[in-house]
Amino acid sequence: MERNFSEQEIVRREKLKEISDVCNPYPERYEINYEIGEAKKLDDDVQNVRVAGRIILMRKMGKLSFLTISDITGKIQISIKYDTVGEERYKFFKDSFDLGDFIGVEGTTFTTHTGEKTIRANSFEFLGKALKPLPDKFHGLSDSELIYRNRFVDIIMNEESKNNILLKYRFISEIRKYLESNKYIEIETPVLINKPSGAIAKPFISHHNALDIDVYLRIAPETYLKRAIIGGFTKVFEFARCFRNEGIDSTHLQDFTMLECYHAYYNYKDNMKFIEEMLKSVIKNVFGTLEITIDGKKIDLSKKWETVSFKDIILKYINIDISIYNTKEKLLNIIKEKGITLESDADIGSLGFGNLVDLLYKKVARPYMIEPVFLIEHPIELSPLARACDDNKGITDRFQLVINGAEIVNAYSELVDPNEQLRRLEEQAKLHSEGDEEAMVMDMDYIEAMEYGMPPISGWGMGIDRVVQVLTGVPNIKDNVLFPLLRPTQNKED
Protein backbone atom coordinates (compact mmCIF):
# COMPACT_ATOMS: atom_id res chain seq x y z
CA MET A 1 0.00 0.00 0.00
CA GLU A 2 1.44 3.35 -1.04
CA ARG A 3 1.61 5.93 1.73
CA ASN A 4 2.48 9.59 1.76
CA PHE A 5 4.89 10.67 4.50
CA SER A 6 5.63 14.13 5.84
CA GLU A 7 9.16 15.51 5.68
CA GLN A 8 9.73 14.72 9.36
CA GLU A 9 8.51 11.15 8.89
CA ILE A 10 10.90 10.67 5.97
CA VAL A 11 13.83 11.96 8.06
CA ARG A 12 12.92 9.65 10.96
CA ARG A 13 12.75 6.63 8.67
CA GLU A 14 16.20 7.47 7.32
CA LYS A 15 17.51 7.71 10.90
CA LEU A 16 16.01 4.30 11.62
CA LYS A 17 18.30 2.78 8.97
CA GLU A 18 21.33 4.50 10.51
CA ILE A 19 20.41 3.36 14.03
CA SER A 20 20.15 -0.21 12.76
CA ASP A 21 23.86 -0.07 11.89
CA VAL A 22 24.67 0.64 15.56
CA CYS A 23 22.04 -1.32 17.51
CA ASN A 24 18.61 -2.91 17.29
CA PRO A 25 16.22 0.08 17.24
CA TYR A 26 13.50 -2.12 18.76
CA PRO A 27 15.32 -4.17 21.43
CA GLU A 28 13.78 -7.05 23.36
CA ARG A 29 13.94 -5.56 26.88
CA TYR A 30 15.57 -3.09 29.23
CA GLU A 31 15.86 -3.75 32.93
CA ILE A 32 14.73 -0.88 35.16
CA ASN A 33 14.84 -0.68 38.95
CA TYR A 34 12.53 2.34 39.37
CA GLU A 35 9.45 3.61 37.60
CA ILE A 36 9.78 7.29 36.76
CA GLY A 37 7.34 8.38 39.48
CA GLU A 38 9.44 6.50 42.05
CA ALA A 39 12.76 7.86 40.76
CA LYS A 40 11.38 11.40 40.99
CA LYS A 41 11.08 10.96 44.79
CA LEU A 42 14.61 9.65 45.38
CA ASP A 43 17.18 11.59 47.38
CA ASP A 44 20.20 13.08 45.63
CA ASP A 45 23.30 10.97 44.97
CA VAL A 46 21.43 7.68 44.59
CA GLN A 47 23.57 5.68 42.16
CA ASN A 48 22.76 3.02 39.58
CA VAL A 49 19.22 4.31 39.04
CA ARG A 50 17.79 2.68 35.93
CA VAL A 51 14.68 4.18 34.33
CA ALA A 52 13.07 4.12 30.90
CA GLY A 53 10.49 6.23 29.14
CA ARG A 54 9.42 8.30 26.16
CA ILE A 55 11.27 11.54 25.36
CA ILE A 56 8.77 14.41 25.54
CA LEU A 57 11.22 17.37 25.81
CA MET A 58 14.79 17.66 24.58
CA ARG A 59 17.51 20.32 24.44
CA LYS A 60 20.59 19.16 22.51
CA MET A 61 23.66 21.32 23.09
CA GLY A 62 27.38 21.16 22.42
CA LYS A 63 28.63 18.89 25.18
CA LEU A 64 25.61 18.72 27.51
CA SER A 65 22.04 17.85 26.65
CA PHE A 66 18.88 17.73 28.72
CA LEU A 67 15.78 15.69 28.02
CA THR A 68 12.57 14.87 29.87
CA ILE A 69 11.20 11.37 29.74
CA SER A 70 7.78 10.17 30.89
CA ASP A 71 5.64 7.16 31.60
CA ILE A 72 2.19 6.84 33.14
CA THR A 73 3.64 7.44 36.63
CA GLY A 74 5.26 10.81 35.87
CA LYS A 75 8.19 12.50 34.18
CA ILE A 76 11.81 13.22 35.08
CA GLN A 77 14.72 15.18 33.61
CA ILE A 78 17.82 13.42 32.28
CA SER A 79 21.22 15.02 31.65
CA ILE A 80 23.59 13.45 29.13
CA LYS A 81 27.15 14.78 29.18
CA TYR A 82 29.82 14.38 26.53
CA ASP A 83 32.68 13.48 28.90
CA THR A 84 30.50 11.05 30.93
CA VAL A 85 29.10 8.84 28.19
CA GLY A 86 31.98 9.32 25.75
CA GLU A 87 32.37 11.10 22.42
CA GLU A 88 31.01 8.29 20.23
CA ARG A 89 27.90 7.67 22.35
CA TYR A 90 27.19 11.36 22.72
CA LYS A 91 27.34 11.83 18.95
CA PHE A 92 25.02 8.82 18.54
CA PHE A 93 22.55 10.44 20.95
CA LYS A 94 22.56 13.78 19.13
CA ASP A 95 22.27 12.21 15.67
CA SER A 96 19.71 9.53 16.43
CA PHE A 97 17.19 10.53 19.10
CA ASP A 98 14.00 12.51 18.40
CA LEU A 99 11.03 13.58 20.46
CA GLY A 100 8.78 10.58 20.99
CA ASP A 101 11.60 8.02 20.99
CA PHE A 102 12.09 5.66 23.92
CA ILE A 103 15.30 5.65 25.92
CA GLY A 104 16.69 3.67 28.85
CA VAL A 105 19.06 5.48 31.22
CA GLU A 106 21.35 4.42 34.09
CA GLY A 107 22.80 7.12 36.31
CA THR A 108 22.88 9.10 39.54
CA THR A 109 20.22 11.43 40.93
CA PHE A 110 20.82 15.11 41.68
CA THR A 111 18.79 18.31 41.90
CA THR A 112 19.53 21.24 39.60
CA HIS A 113 19.88 24.83 40.86
CA THR A 114 16.30 25.40 39.63
CA GLY A 115 15.09 22.63 41.94
CA GLU A 116 14.40 19.96 39.32
CA LYS A 117 15.14 16.33 40.14
CA THR A 118 17.45 14.96 37.45
CA ILE A 119 19.32 11.78 36.61
CA ARG A 120 22.90 12.28 35.38
CA ALA A 121 23.29 9.53 32.78
CA ASN A 122 26.32 7.25 32.92
CA SER A 123 24.92 5.18 30.06
CA PHE A 124 21.83 5.00 27.88
CA GLU A 125 20.19 2.62 25.41
CA PHE A 126 17.97 3.22 22.39
CA LEU A 127 14.63 1.48 23.11
CA GLY A 128 12.28 2.41 20.28
CA LYS A 129 11.94 4.82 17.33
CA ALA A 130 8.86 7.00 16.90
CA LEU A 131 8.29 7.26 13.16
CA LYS A 132 5.63 9.94 13.61
CA PRO A 133 6.39 13.23 15.42
CA LEU A 134 4.51 14.19 18.57
CA PRO A 135 2.26 17.29 18.45
CA ASP A 136 3.55 20.66 19.61
CA LYS A 137 4.74 20.17 23.20
CA PHE A 138 2.89 23.23 24.47
CA HIS A 139 -0.50 22.44 22.98
CA GLY A 140 -0.75 18.76 22.14
CA LEU A 141 -4.04 17.78 20.53
CA SER A 142 -6.88 20.29 20.68
CA ASP A 143 -9.49 18.89 18.28
CA SER A 144 -11.85 16.60 20.24
CA GLU A 145 -12.20 14.18 17.33
CA LEU A 146 -8.41 13.80 17.14
CA ILE A 147 -8.19 13.44 20.92
CA TYR A 148 -10.63 10.51 21.00
CA ARG A 149 -9.15 8.93 17.87
CA ASN A 150 -5.54 9.33 19.06
CA ARG A 151 -5.98 8.98 22.83
CA PHE A 152 -2.53 7.41 23.12
CA VAL A 153 -1.03 10.71 21.91
CA ASP A 154 -3.38 12.78 24.06
CA ILE A 155 -2.27 11.11 27.30
CA ILE A 156 1.38 11.54 26.30
CA MET A 157 0.98 15.28 25.83
CA ASN A 158 -1.92 16.24 28.11
CA GLU A 159 -1.45 15.86 31.86
CA GLU A 160 -5.14 16.58 32.56
CA SER A 161 -6.33 13.85 30.18
CA LYS A 162 -3.92 11.36 31.72
CA ASN A 163 -5.06 12.22 35.24
CA ASN A 164 -8.75 11.91 34.29
CA ILE A 165 -8.17 8.44 32.90
CA LEU A 166 -6.15 7.37 35.94
CA LEU A 167 -8.80 8.79 38.27
CA LYS A 168 -11.42 6.54 36.69
CA TYR A 169 -9.36 3.42 37.36
CA ARG A 170 -8.58 4.53 40.90
CA PHE A 171 -12.32 5.09 41.43
CA ILE A 172 -13.01 1.53 40.25
CA SER A 173 -10.25 0.21 42.52
CA GLU A 174 -11.62 2.02 45.58
CA ILE A 175 -15.15 0.72 44.96
CA ARG A 176 -13.85 -2.82 44.52
CA LYS A 177 -11.93 -2.57 47.81
CA TYR A 178 -15.01 -1.20 49.60
CA LEU A 179 -17.27 -3.98 48.32
CA GLU A 180 -14.76 -6.72 49.10
CA SER A 181 -14.25 -5.30 52.61
CA ASN A 182 -18.01 -5.75 53.03
CA LYS A 183 -17.71 -9.41 51.95
CA TYR A 184 -19.10 -9.01 48.42
CA ILE A 185 -17.78 -11.54 45.87
CA GLU A 186 -16.88 -10.44 42.34
CA ILE A 187 -18.13 -12.84 39.65
CA GLU A 188 -18.38 -12.92 35.84
CA THR A 189 -21.52 -13.31 33.73
CA PRO A 190 -21.97 -13.87 29.96
CA VAL A 191 -21.53 -11.08 27.42
CA LEU A 192 -23.16 -13.08 24.61
CA ILE A 193 -26.70 -14.02 25.64
CA ASN A 194 -29.86 -15.56 24.15
CA LYS A 195 -32.27 -12.92 25.47
CA PRO A 196 -31.60 -9.16 25.88
CA SER A 197 -32.78 -9.01 29.50
CA GLY A 198 -31.91 -7.06 32.62
CA ALA A 199 -32.86 -3.56 31.49
CA ILE A 200 -35.15 -1.63 29.16
CA ALA A 201 -32.93 -0.87 26.16
CA LYS A 202 -32.41 -1.69 22.49
CA PRO A 203 -29.77 -4.43 22.09
CA PHE A 204 -26.98 -5.18 19.64
CA ILE A 205 -27.53 -8.40 17.69
CA SER A 206 -24.79 -10.73 16.43
CA HIS A 207 -24.51 -14.28 15.11
CA HIS A 208 -22.73 -17.22 16.71
CA ASN A 209 -21.28 -19.22 13.80
CA ALA A 210 -20.40 -22.40 15.72
CA LEU A 211 -23.88 -22.74 17.24
CA ASP A 212 -25.60 -21.13 14.22
CA ILE A 213 -27.79 -18.94 16.42
CA ASP A 214 -28.40 -15.22 16.76
CA VAL A 215 -27.13 -13.79 20.05
CA TYR A 216 -27.31 -10.45 21.81
CA LEU A 217 -24.60 -8.41 23.47
CA ARG A 218 -25.79 -8.01 27.04
CA ILE A 219 -27.51 -4.78 28.00
CA ALA A 220 -27.06 -5.61 31.70
CA PRO A 221 -25.76 -8.55 33.78
CA GLU A 222 -28.79 -8.41 36.10
CA THR A 223 -30.61 -11.69 35.47
CA TYR A 224 -27.38 -13.70 35.64
CA LEU A 225 -26.26 -12.07 38.87
CA LYS A 226 -29.68 -12.97 40.29
CA ARG A 227 -29.14 -16.55 39.12
CA ALA A 228 -26.00 -16.50 41.29
CA ILE A 229 -28.17 -15.48 44.26
CA ILE A 230 -30.50 -18.39 43.45
CA GLY A 231 -27.41 -20.61 43.51
CA GLY A 232 -26.51 -19.58 47.05
CA PHE A 233 -24.36 -16.44 46.76
CA THR A 234 -25.56 -13.73 49.15
CA LYS A 235 -23.44 -10.73 48.06
CA VAL A 236 -22.21 -10.48 44.44
CA PHE A 237 -20.99 -7.77 42.09
CA GLU A 238 -19.56 -7.38 38.60
CA PHE A 239 -17.87 -4.60 36.65
CA ALA A 240 -19.65 -5.54 33.43
CA ARG A 241 -19.08 -4.25 29.93
CA CYS A 242 -22.60 -3.54 28.61
CA PHE A 243 -23.93 -2.65 25.16
CA ARG A 244 -27.04 -0.65 24.21
CA ASN A 245 -27.78 0.16 20.59
CA GLU A 246 -29.13 3.64 21.26
CA GLY A 247 -28.38 7.29 20.51
CA ILE A 248 -25.05 9.06 20.97
CA ASP A 249 -24.75 12.20 23.05
CA SER A 250 -22.44 13.78 25.60
CA THR A 251 -23.73 11.60 28.47
CA HIS A 252 -24.41 8.26 26.73
CA LEU A 253 -22.18 5.54 25.32
CA GLN A 254 -23.28 2.43 23.45
CA ASP A 255 -20.58 0.33 25.12
CA PHE A 256 -19.88 1.21 28.71
CA THR A 257 -18.82 -0.14 32.10
CA MET A 258 -21.66 -0.95 34.48
CA LEU A 259 -21.16 -1.95 38.09
CA GLU A 260 -24.02 -4.14 39.32
CA CYS A 261 -24.28 -5.36 42.88
CA TYR A 262 -26.81 -7.65 44.64
CA HIS A 263 -27.40 -8.38 48.32
CA ALA A 264 -29.72 -11.15 49.51
CA TYR A 265 -32.05 -10.19 52.36
CA TYR A 266 -31.65 -6.43 51.73
CA ASN A 267 -34.41 -4.11 50.55
CA TYR A 268 -33.97 -0.91 48.54
CA LYS A 269 -33.85 1.26 51.67
CA ASP A 270 -30.90 -0.79 52.97
CA ASN A 271 -29.10 -0.13 49.69
CA MET A 272 -29.86 3.60 49.79
CA LYS A 273 -27.99 3.75 53.08
CA PHE A 274 -25.18 1.48 51.82
CA ILE A 275 -24.63 3.44 48.59
CA GLU A 276 -24.55 6.81 50.32
CA GLU A 277 -21.95 5.53 52.79
CA MET A 278 -19.94 3.80 50.05
CA LEU A 279 -19.83 6.75 47.66
CA LYS A 280 -18.96 9.22 50.40
CA SER A 281 -16.06 6.97 51.45
CA VAL A 282 -14.83 6.31 47.90
CA ILE A 283 -15.10 9.95 46.76
CA LYS A 284 -13.27 11.16 49.87
CA ASN A 285 -10.45 8.66 49.22
CA VAL A 286 -10.15 9.55 45.53
CA PHE A 287 -10.66 13.34 45.64
CA GLY A 288 -9.58 14.08 49.20
CA THR A 289 -12.80 16.02 49.86
CA LEU A 290 -16.58 15.75 49.72
CA GLU A 291 -16.97 19.31 48.46
CA ILE A 292 -16.70 19.16 44.69
CA THR A 293 -17.22 21.77 41.98
CA ILE A 294 -19.13 20.75 38.85
CA ASP A 295 -19.78 23.21 36.02
CA GLY A 296 -18.97 26.05 38.39
CA LYS A 297 -21.46 24.79 41.01
CA LYS A 298 -20.22 23.77 44.46
CA ILE A 299 -21.84 20.56 45.71
CA ASP A 300 -21.43 19.40 49.30
CA LEU A 301 -21.71 15.62 49.29
CA SER A 302 -21.15 15.34 53.04
CA LYS A 303 -24.74 16.34 53.90
CA LYS A 304 -27.56 13.80 54.22
CA TRP A 305 -28.84 13.11 50.69
CA GLU A 306 -32.46 14.08 49.96
CA THR A 307 -35.20 11.59 49.04
CA VAL A 308 -38.12 12.57 46.72
CA SER A 309 -40.85 10.59 44.91
CA PHE A 310 -41.24 10.35 41.14
CA LYS A 311 -44.73 11.82 41.45
CA ASP A 312 -43.59 14.81 43.54
CA ILE A 313 -40.60 15.69 41.35
CA ILE A 314 -42.81 15.88 38.22
CA LEU A 315 -45.45 17.86 40.12
CA LYS A 316 -42.76 20.27 41.27
CA TYR A 317 -41.44 21.09 37.81
CA ILE A 318 -44.47 20.73 35.47
CA ASN A 319 -47.56 20.29 37.70
CA ILE A 320 -48.67 16.99 36.17
CA ASP A 321 -49.90 14.42 38.69
CA ILE A 322 -49.03 10.97 37.31
CA SER A 323 -51.38 9.35 39.84
CA ILE A 324 -54.25 11.13 38.02
CA TYR A 325 -52.85 10.97 34.47
CA ASN A 326 -52.18 7.28 35.08
CA THR A 327 -52.62 5.76 31.62
CA LYS A 328 -50.69 6.14 28.40
CA GLU A 329 -53.61 7.96 26.71
CA LYS A 330 -54.23 10.40 29.57
CA LEU A 331 -50.54 11.22 29.93
CA LEU A 332 -50.07 11.73 26.18
CA ASN A 333 -53.01 14.14 26.08
CA ILE A 334 -51.79 16.34 28.95
CA ILE A 335 -48.26 16.36 27.53
CA LYS A 336 -49.65 17.61 24.21
CA GLU A 337 -51.88 20.17 25.97
CA LYS A 338 -48.88 21.64 27.76
CA GLY A 339 -46.84 21.74 24.53
CA ILE A 340 -44.06 19.52 25.89
CA THR A 341 -41.82 17.88 23.29
CA LEU A 342 -40.36 14.58 24.47
CA GLU A 343 -37.10 13.26 23.03
CA SER A 344 -37.03 9.63 21.94
CA ASP A 345 -35.56 7.54 19.13
CA ALA A 346 -38.80 5.55 19.11
CA ASP A 347 -42.24 6.78 18.09
CA ILE A 348 -43.77 8.44 21.19
CA GLY A 349 -47.13 6.89 20.42
CA SER A 350 -45.67 3.38 20.53
CA LEU A 351 -44.26 3.76 24.06
CA GLY A 352 -45.92 2.40 27.17
CA PHE A 353 -46.99 4.49 30.17
CA GLY A 354 -43.79 3.83 32.11
CA ASN A 355 -41.46 4.96 29.34
CA LEU A 356 -43.60 8.08 28.79
CA VAL A 357 -43.33 9.01 32.46
CA ASP A 358 -39.56 8.46 32.30
CA LEU A 359 -39.16 10.69 29.23
CA LEU A 360 -41.31 13.38 30.85
CA TYR A 361 -39.21 13.35 34.02
CA LYS A 362 -35.97 13.49 32.02
CA LYS A 363 -37.29 16.47 30.06
CA VAL A 364 -38.78 18.66 32.80
CA ALA A 365 -37.12 17.70 36.09
CA ARG A 366 -33.82 15.85 35.92
CA PRO A 367 -31.70 18.70 34.47
CA TYR A 368 -32.47 20.79 37.56
CA MET A 369 -31.59 18.17 40.18
CA ILE A 370 -28.10 19.34 41.19
CA GLU A 371 -27.59 18.22 44.79
CA PRO A 372 -27.61 14.43 45.42
CA VAL A 373 -31.21 13.16 45.35
CA PHE A 374 -32.64 9.66 45.80
CA LEU A 375 -35.63 9.45 43.44
CA ILE A 376 -38.16 6.82 44.59
CA GLU A 377 -41.63 5.39 43.84
CA HIS A 378 -41.27 4.72 40.11
CA PRO A 379 -44.34 3.54 38.15
CA ILE A 380 -44.46 -0.24 37.97
CA GLU A 381 -44.59 -0.11 34.13
CA LEU A 382 -41.11 1.44 34.18
CA SER A 383 -39.64 -1.30 36.37
CA PRO A 384 -40.42 -4.80 35.05
CA LEU A 385 -37.84 -6.45 37.32
CA ALA A 386 -38.59 -4.48 40.51
CA ARG A 387 -40.74 -5.49 43.47
CA ALA A 388 -44.12 -3.78 43.76
CA CYS A 389 -44.70 -1.67 46.86
CA ASP A 390 -46.84 -3.53 49.39
CA ASP A 391 -48.92 -0.41 50.08
CA ASN A 392 -49.35 0.72 46.46
CA LYS A 393 -49.11 -1.87 43.70
CA GLY A 394 -48.85 0.86 41.06
CA ILE A 395 -45.33 1.81 42.15
CA THR A 396 -42.15 -0.09 42.89
CA ASP A 397 -39.63 -0.26 45.71
CA ARG A 398 -36.98 1.42 43.60
CA PHE A 399 -34.64 4.39 43.67
CA GLN A 400 -32.30 6.29 41.40
CA LEU A 401 -29.49 8.49 42.64
CA VAL A 402 -29.29 11.75 40.68
CA ILE A 403 -26.40 14.23 40.93
CA ASN A 404 -26.07 17.33 38.76
CA GLY A 405 -28.88 16.19 36.46
CA ALA A 406 -27.36 12.78 35.82
CA GLU A 407 -28.63 9.38 36.93
CA ILE A 408 -25.75 7.81 38.85
CA VAL A 409 -27.33 4.71 40.41
CA ASN A 410 -30.45 2.69 39.60
CA ALA A 411 -31.60 0.26 42.30
CA TYR A 412 -34.57 -1.64 43.65
CA SER A 413 -35.95 -4.33 45.86
CA GLU A 414 -35.97 -7.15 43.36
CA LEU A 415 -39.05 -8.97 42.17
CA VAL A 416 -38.62 -12.58 43.32
CA ASP A 417 -42.14 -13.90 42.65
CA PRO A 418 -41.85 -15.93 39.39
CA ASN A 419 -45.57 -15.74 38.65
CA GLU A 420 -45.65 -11.95 38.91
CA GLN A 421 -42.40 -11.74 36.92
CA LEU A 422 -43.94 -13.86 34.15
CA ARG A 423 -46.99 -11.59 34.03
CA ARG A 424 -44.87 -8.45 33.73
CA LEU A 425 -42.60 -9.91 31.06
CA GLU A 426 -45.70 -10.89 29.08
CA GLU A 427 -46.77 -7.23 29.21
CA GLN A 428 -43.29 -6.12 28.15
CA ALA A 429 -43.22 -8.65 25.30
CA LYS A 430 -46.59 -7.33 24.09
CA LEU A 431 -45.22 -3.75 24.05
CA HIS A 432 -42.15 -5.00 22.19
CA SER A 433 -44.31 -6.71 19.56
CA GLU A 434 -46.24 -3.44 19.13
CA GLY A 435 -43.11 -1.49 18.27
CA ASP A 436 -41.50 -0.45 21.58
CA GLU A 437 -37.95 -1.61 20.82
CA GLU A 438 -36.79 -0.75 24.33
CA ALA A 439 -39.36 -3.01 26.01
CA MET A 440 -38.09 -6.34 27.31
CA VAL A 441 -38.69 -9.66 25.58
CA MET A 442 -39.87 -12.90 27.18
CA ASP A 443 -37.10 -14.83 28.99
CA MET A 444 -38.46 -18.20 30.11
CA ASP A 445 -34.99 -19.44 31.14
CA TYR A 446 -34.90 -16.74 33.79
CA ILE A 447 -38.49 -17.48 34.88
CA GLU A 448 -37.62 -21.14 35.31
CA ALA A 449 -34.53 -20.21 37.34
CA MET A 450 -36.73 -18.07 39.60
CA GLU A 451 -39.04 -21.03 40.13
CA TYR A 452 -36.29 -22.78 42.11
CA GLY A 453 -36.84 -20.10 44.77
CA MET A 454 -35.30 -16.69 45.52
CA PRO A 455 -34.74 -14.93 48.84
CA PRO A 456 -35.52 -11.23 49.33
CA ILE A 457 -32.95 -9.30 47.27
CA SER A 458 -31.99 -5.71 46.59
CA GLY A 459 -29.66 -4.80 43.74
CA TRP A 460 -28.24 -1.71 42.09
CA GLY A 461 -26.36 -0.65 38.99
CA MET A 462 -24.01 2.29 38.47
CA GLY A 463 -22.57 3.48 35.15
CA ILE A 464 -18.90 4.00 35.95
CA ASP A 465 -18.22 6.27 32.97
CA ARG A 466 -21.24 8.41 33.88
CA VAL A 467 -20.41 8.87 37.57
CA VAL A 468 -16.79 9.75 36.77
CA GLN A 469 -18.00 12.28 34.18
CA VAL A 470 -20.23 13.90 36.80
CA LEU A 471 -17.55 14.00 39.49
CA THR A 472 -14.84 15.39 37.18
CA GLY A 473 -17.17 17.81 35.39
CA VAL A 474 -15.86 16.95 31.91
CA PRO A 475 -18.25 18.01 29.10
CA ASN A 476 -18.32 14.67 27.28
CA ILE A 477 -18.50 11.16 28.71
CA LYS A 478 -15.84 10.12 26.18
CA ASP A 479 -13.33 12.32 28.02
CA ASN A 480 -13.01 9.62 30.70
CA VAL A 481 -12.97 6.69 28.26
CA LEU A 482 -9.54 5.57 27.14
CA PHE A 483 -10.52 4.37 23.64
CA PRO A 484 -14.11 5.35 22.68
CA LEU A 485 -15.66 3.87 19.54
CA LEU A 486 -15.56 6.20 16.51
CA ARG A 487 -16.54 5.90 12.89
CA PRO A 488 -13.49 4.78 10.83
CA THR A 489 -11.55 7.40 8.91
CA GLN A 490 -12.59 6.72 5.34
CA ASN A 491 -9.32 7.48 3.54
CA LYS A 492 -7.40 5.17 5.92
CA GLU A 493 -9.80 2.30 5.29
CA ASP A 494 -9.50 2.84 1.54
Q: What is the CATH number of the domain that holds 421?
A: 3.30.930.10
pLDDT of residue 80: 97
Query: Do 100 and 134 meet the contact criterion of CB atoms below 8 Å apart?
Result: yes
Counting other chains too, the contacts that 300-304 makes at CB distance below 8 Å and 24 or more residues apart are: 300/371, 301/372, 303/371
The CA–CA distances, whole Å, from 166 to 159, 162, 177, 479 equal 11, 6, 17, 12
Half-sphere exposure of 193 (CA within 13 A, CB side): 23
Whether 188 and 73 share a structural domain: no
pLDDT of residue 294: 82
Whether 174 and 305 share a structural domain: yes
Half-sphere exposure of 79 (CA within 13 A, CB side): 17
Whether 466 and 394 share a structural domain: yes
Whether 216 and 262 share a structural domain: yes
Of 82, 103, 134, which marks where a domain is finished? 134
Q: Report helix, strand or coil for 253.
A: coil
Is residue 2 in a domain? no
Cα 162 to the center of its chain, rounded Å: 14
The tens-digit pLDDT sequence of the chain (494 residues) is 678 899 999 999 999 999 999 999 999 999 999 999 999 999 999 999 999 999 999 999 889 999 999 999 999 999 999 999 999 999 999 999 999 999 999 999 999 999 999 999 999 999 999 999 988 755 556 678 888 888 888 888 888 889 999 999 999 999 999 999 999 999 999 999 998 877 778 899 999 999 999 999 999 999 999 999 999 999 999 999 999 998 888 888 899 999 999 999 999 999 999 999 999 999 999 999 999 888 788 899 999 999 999 899 999 999 999 889 888 899 999 998 888 888 887 788 888 888 888 899 999 999 999 999 999 999 888 877 789 899 998 899 999 999 999 999 999 999 999 999 999 889 888 887 887 776 778 889 999 999 999 999 999 999 999 999 999 988 899 998 999 888 887 665 55
Question: Cβ contacts of residue 39 below 8 Å, gap of 6+?
Answer: 49, 51, 76, 109, 117, 119
Whether 186 and 230 share a structural domain: yes
Is residue 446 in a domain? yes
Closest alpha carbon to 67 in 105, 95, 108: 105
Residue-range definition of the domain harbouring residue 363 = 157-486
Q: Where are the beta strands (DSSP E) in 371-431?
A: 373-376, 398-403, 406-413
**Rounded to two decimals, what is the model's pTM?**
0.88
Amino acid at site 197? S
| Separation CA 435–CA 451 (nearest Å) | 30
Whether 180 and 214 share a structural domain: yes
Tell me how many domains the chain contains: 2
CATH number reported for the structural domain that contains residue 121 in this entry? 2.40.50.140
Q: Report helix, strand or coil for 54.
A: strand
pLDDT of residue 270: 97
Query: Do 455 and 416 meet the contact criterion of CB atoms below 8 Å apart?
Result: yes
Whether 254 and 388 share a structural domain: yes
Whether 164 and 63 share a structural domain: no
Whether 307 and 250 share a structural domain: yes
Of 119, 134, 149, which marks where a domain is finished? 134
Is residue 340 in a domain? yes
Query: Do 37 and 107 meet the contact criterion of CB atoms below 8 Å apart?
Result: no
Whether 312 and 450 share a structural domain: yes
* β-bridge mates for residue 264, sequence order: 457
